[in-house]
């Protein structure tokens, strides 16, 4: 029996003895010690000659105790019901708001930093420092949405979905929410990442300091001057397609429904341009031509105030890609795909491969960190913002020097080189001359 109830009944006995002294003698005969009223058992109380009034007091006290306990329980339950996200069955659930609050606001500062970050990475894909950075930057926008949910809890829930590829149904069960609310929160957080944080963390390297650092780093990797990035595309597999779309338009070269992601990465495997504008049935060249980056580069909107002279040719900063992309003055591709060029051309193709390796590894890291990109389980309308959000988070991880997981292996690419459009011919011829000049200069330096 509850100790507080025993104490209450003992106190009642004292009161009863005071009001009815005759009962004290009888109660003492049932007590192991007359000097210790706290040792009197409840059964001894019911054996006194004045049992009726005492029984009345005892029963009334018990009922009062039960009523107060229920009232307290009801009050606690009512209080918890005002919590926007109570746990469904277990108040100590690992995924409840209370559990998250206890860990993030109390226990977190008692944990050693490596242990703390290890826990956060296993749950949310990022260290605690990166997590709080994301929360702090998104909190004002989440607050404006009038979402009845703590900002850090909303971010934690979405990051757990992105890093583990969890379905709406699984999250709804874990977090005791309706599936539609899970989708709403996911869409809100990924949209904020893709729009509000994109300009801060994904930028074309146009400033002189950043551009010099990037080109110098690629020079050390490839021995080619003025390279500022590497471009590549990847198919992001879709779990479901709406019934009102043409499945063949989304079927990629690997045979599954997808949307295309195009990225440009620097030497740190950070993306400085991201584009998701084409279904999986498109080729890389078509996707490039529909991107904002292509329009900026062909129209001269991007001003790279840096040039070098190579064998009489003025070489501006350029990116490199594989043979699936069109050759242009700002995008250099290999001469051949099978090493059938001249010695100088083959040497150039080899160093191009080492430069392109950074973007291939960046994509491998992206899909390894955010497993939702291995099979995207969001609506088609929200697929682009989800992919871009993961790219923003990838850059945050690279900036914070988060541990790099084992790379996700991409299927081998194949396909014919793209045709040259009439509007691209001048850029193509200029690209041919620049590429050959770089190849001859490289071969001469390597032959010394």
3-state helix, strand, coil in the chain (%, to 5): 60, 10, 30
The two beta strands, 331-332 and 318-320, are parallel
**Tens digit of pLDDT for each residue in 253-262?**
899 999 999 9
Residue 263: left (phi > 0), alpha (psi -120 to 50), or beta?
Answer: beta
What pLDDT sits at residue 63? 47
Q: Which two tokens stand for residue 287?
A: 């996707």
CA gap 369, 200 in Å, rounded: 21
What pLDDT sits at residue 40? 35
76: in domain: yes
Average pLDDT over residues 58-65: 49
CA gap 344, 253 in Å, rounded: 32
226: in domain: yes
Domain with 280 in it: 208-446
Grade residue 99 by pLDDT with cuts at 50, 70 and 90: low
88: in domain: no
Residue 275: which residues within 8 A CB-CB, separation 6 or more? 261, 262, 263, 287, 291, 292, 293
Are residues 131 and 105 part of one domain?
Answer: yes
CA-nearest of 125, 159, 157 to 365 is 125
Q: Which two tokens stand for residue 434?
A: 């620049």
Q: Where a domain ends, among 184, 200, 216?
A: 200
Full DSSP string of 221-234: HHS-TTEEEEEEEE
Are residues 155 and 20 part of one domain?
Answer: no
Q: Which two tokens stand for residue 387?
A: 């992919």
In the chain, the percentage of residues whose pLDDT exceeds 90 is 63
Are residues 414 and 380 part of one domain?
Answer: yes
Q: Coil, strand or helix: which one is 403? A: coil
Residue 332: which residues within 8 A CB-CB, separation 6 or more? 318, 319, 320, 321, 352, 431, 434, 435, 438
Are residues 371 and 338 part of one domain?
Answer: yes
414: in domain: yes
Q: Where a domain ends, among 81, 108, 143?
A: 81
What pLDDT sits at residue 147? 82
**Tens digit of pLDDT for each residue in 253-290?**
899 999 999 999 999 999 999 999 999 999 999 999 99
87: in domain: no
89: in domain: no
90: in domain: no
Are residues 188 and 50 part of one domain?
Answer: no
Are residues 120 and 47 part of one domain?
Answer: no
CA gap 157, 189 in Å, rounded: 10
- Residue 16 · residue 23 · CB < 8 Å: yes
Are residues 271 and 168 part of one domain?
Answer: no
Are residues 132 and 252 part of one domain?
Answer: no
CA gap 82, 379 in Å, rounded: 31
Are residues 125 and 30 part of one domain?
Answer: no
CA gap 305, 147 in Å, rounded: 45
Place of tokens 């990022």: 126
91: in domain: no
Residue 55: which residues within 8 A CB-CB, separation 6 or more? 46
Q: Where a domain ends, among 18, 51, 81?
A: 81
Element (H, E) at 437: helix 425-446
Are residues 347 and 242 part of one domain?
Answer: yes
**Tens digit of pLDDT for each residue in 217-259?**
999 999 999 999 999 999 999 999 999 999 999 999 899 999 9
Average pLDDT value over all residues in the chain = 82
What pLDDT sits at residue 105? 61
Are residues 439 and 387 part of one domain?
Answer: yes
List helix spans (H) across 245-332: 247-250, 284-289, 292-299
Average pLDDT over residues 179-192: 94
Asked if residue 87 has pLDDT above 60, the reply is no
User: Would you say the pTM of this structure is higher than 0.95?
Assistant: no
Are residues 413 and 287 part of one domain?
Answer: yes
Number of domains in the chain: 3
**383-399 vs 128-144: helix crossing angle, rounded to 10:** 140
- Residue 120 · residue 131 · CB < 8 Å: yes
- Residue 283 · residue 262 · CB < 8 Å: no
Asked if residue 61 has pLDDT above 60, the reply is no
Residue 314: which residues within 8 A CB-CB, separation 6 or more? 307, 308
Question: How long a stretch of residues is the chain?
Answer: 448
**Tens digit of pLDDT for each residue in 286-343?**
999 999 999 999 998 887 888 999 999 999 999 999 999 999 999 999 999 888 899 9
Angle at 309 between CA 305 and CA 314, to 5 degrees: 65
CA gap 256, 216 in Å, rounded: 39
List helix spans (H) across 145-233: 151-164, 168-175, 179-192, 198-201, 208-222
């Amino acid at each position: 029996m509850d100790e507080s109830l025993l104490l209450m009944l003992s106190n009642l006995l004292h009161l009863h003895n005071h009001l009815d002294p005759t009962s004290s003698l009888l109660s003492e005969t049932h007590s192991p010690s007359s000097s210790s009223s706290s040792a009197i058992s409840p059964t001894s109380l019911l054996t006194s000659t004045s049992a009726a009034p005492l029984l009345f007091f005892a029963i009334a006290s018990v009922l009062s105790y039960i009523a107060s306990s229920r009232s307290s329980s009801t009050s606690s339950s009512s209080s918890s019901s005002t919590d926007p996200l109570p746990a469904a069955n277990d108040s100590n659930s690992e995924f409840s708001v209370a559990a998250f609050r206890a860990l993030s606001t109390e226990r977190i500062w008692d944990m050693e930093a490596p242990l703390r970050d290890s826990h956060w990475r296993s749950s949310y894909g990022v260290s605690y420092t990166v997590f709080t950075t994301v929360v702090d930057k998104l909190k004002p926008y989440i607050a404006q949405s009038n979402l009845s949910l703590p900002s850090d809890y909303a971010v934690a829930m979405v990051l757990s979905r992105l890093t583990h590829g969890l379905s709406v149904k699984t999250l709804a069960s874990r977090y005791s929410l309706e599936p539609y609310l899970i989708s709403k929160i996911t869409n809100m957080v990924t949209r904020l990442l893709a729009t509000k944080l994109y300009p801060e963390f994904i930028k074309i390297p146009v400033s002189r300091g950043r551009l010099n650092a990037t080109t110098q780093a690629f020079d050390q990797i490839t021995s080619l001057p003025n390279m500022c990035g590497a471009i590549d595309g990847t198919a992001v597999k879709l779990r479901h397609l709406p019934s009102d779309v043409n499945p063949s338009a989304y079927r990629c070269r690997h045979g599954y429904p997808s949307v295309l992601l195009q990225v440009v990465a620097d030497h740190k495997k950070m993306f400085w341009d991201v584009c998701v504008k084409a279904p999986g049935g498109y080729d890389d060249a078509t996707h490039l031509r529909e991107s904002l980056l292509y329009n900026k580069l062909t129209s001269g909107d991007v001003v790279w105030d840096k040039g070098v002279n190579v064998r009489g040719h003025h070489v501006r900063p350029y990116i490199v890609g594989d043979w699936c992309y069109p050759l242009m003055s700002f995008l250099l591709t290999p001469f051949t795909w099978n090493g059938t060029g001249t010695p100088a051309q083959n040497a150039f193709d080899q160093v191009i491969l080492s430069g392109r390796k950074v973007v291939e590894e960046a994509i491998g890291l992206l899909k390894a960190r955010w497993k939702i990109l291995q099979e995207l389980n969001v609506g088609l309308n929200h697929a682009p913002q989800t992919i871009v959000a993961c790219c923003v988070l990838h850059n945050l991880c690279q900036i914070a020097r988060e541990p790099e997981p084992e790379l996700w292996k991409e299927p081998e690419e194949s396909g014919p080189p793209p045709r040259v459009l009439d509007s691209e011919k001048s850029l193509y011829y200029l690209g041919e001359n620049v590429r050959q000049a770089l190849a001859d200069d490289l071969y001469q330096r390597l032959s010394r």
